[in-house]
Amino acid sequence: MTTYSGGPDMLVLTRKIGESIQINDDVKVTLIDIQGKTVRLGIEAPQDTKIYREEVFLKIKEANLSAADATAFDPAKISQLIKDKLKP
Domain ranges of the chain: 20-86
* Residue 31 contacts residue 19 (beta carbons within 8 Å): yes
Q: What is each CA distance from 61 to 7, 50, 67, 76, 83, in whole angstroms?
A: 21, 13, 10, 30, 36
- Inform me whether the pLDDT recorded for 44 exceeds 70: yes
Average pLDDT of span 29-48 = 97
User: What integer pLDDT is reported at residue 15 of this predicted model?
Assistant: 96
7-16, 34-43, 54-63, 69-78, range with greatest mean pLDDT = 34-43
